[in-house]
Amino acid sequence: MPANANKKVLITGANGFIGQFLGHYLLENDYHLVHALRSPKSIQQALAAGQLQYIGNIDAHTDWSQALKAVDIVVHLAARVHVMAETAANPLLAFEQTNYHGTINLAKQAISAGVKRFIYLSSIKVNGEQTKEQPFCADDPAVTLDDPYALSKQQAELALLDLQQQGLLEVVIIRPPLVYGAGVKGNFLRLIQLAEKQLPLPLKQIKNQRSLVSVNNLCSLIQCGMEHPKASGQVFLVSDGRDISSSELLAQISQALQCKNRLFYLPRGLLQVLTSAIGKSQEFQRLFDSLQVDIDKNRQLLNWQPQTSMQSALQQTINFYQKEQAE
């Protein structure tokens, strides 16, 4: 009998980009699954075989009792994420309601239900928005955060680690940078669409370095965190093990699409002035600043290495995108 055949895993955010991929990944590795969804209406695509549980909004009052029955491991992916047009009067309170209070409520009910291990998908934003001379490390000292989303994630991390220190729950925290893969949405999808248009863009020779992680490699680390005895009580960063500039990323996307790469050069200072003038300073930061992570801790403590190369994962992402466009 496979080692995982009797292990039951609750995945929150099961219908999201990462949640869907993780469900199929774990099913292939012989886990039993419980998919936690907000409501029947939230099912957008076919989920991996498993039990469905509808839990409503995630906050301090969510009842997880049915979803947690006989569960051994919780993988908590669900969160309130960044929104481009924030409507909440107090964004921090809105983020805290789901990301902090909702997470700790789930963790405490998991303890009562006898759950052994709790995997929490946090964010690299807990470390910061950019790196300069050195990559971020998982055990870097805490920094002062002014981003409501990042702060809510950090608060949840600290509360979970406190439960670990009390001996109540084995906690594993993973902070990914930008995640991409087949079916990706958001900023990465916009990059693909931008490259597909083959427009001349003033983005050549950007000298930054950014860490990315394919959803394949992220799910591999999540599973390692679920099983490895040394993962308990630890924080991990994750990447594909190779950093890339924004210019090179766009060039590789264009190559995978079999489109012409029409990037041209403008000085960074001029582009910064132009993007600021049209209210696109955040987009400038994402394109031009560096954000690198160090994953040596994963290699040394868990003997974990990225399983999929960036080139292979990018091609899988583009193949899926083109297939969807053709349907």
SS3 content of the chain, % helix, strand, coil (to 5): 45, 15, 40
Query: Domain map of the chain by residue range?
Result: 8-175
Question: Given 149, 180, 265, 321, which residue is catalytic?
Answer: 149
pLDDT tens string, the chain, 327 residues long: the values are 356 667 999 999 999 999 999 999 999 999 999 999 988 877 767 799 999 999 999 999 999 999 999 999 999 999 998 765 566 778 899 999 999 999 999 999 999 999 999 999 999 999 999 999 899 999 999 888 889 999 999 999 999 999 999 999 999 999 999 999 999 998 899 999 999 999 888 889 898 999 999 999 999 999 999 999 999 999 999 999 999 999 999 999 999 999 999 998 888 888 888 888 877 777 777 788 999 999 999 999 999 999 999 999 999 999 999 999 998
149 is catalytic: yes
Query: At which residue do the structure tokens 């052994």 appear?
Result: 116
Beta strands in 141-230 (DSSP E): 170-175, 178-180, 210-214
Q: What is the pTM of this model?
A: 0.94
Name beta bridge partners: 244: 210
Would the CA dihedral through 15, 190, 310, 299 be positive or negative? negative
Structure tokens at 77: 């992916």
**CATH classification for the domain delimited by 8-175, as one of 3.40.50.2000, 3.30.1300.10, 3.40.50.1820, 3.40.50.720:** 3.40.50.720
Which burial class, exposed, middle or buried, applies to 207 when counting CB atoms under 10 A from its CB (0-12, 13-18, 19+)? exposed
The runs of H, that is alpha helices, within 228-309 are: 246-257, 268-277, 281-288, 296-297
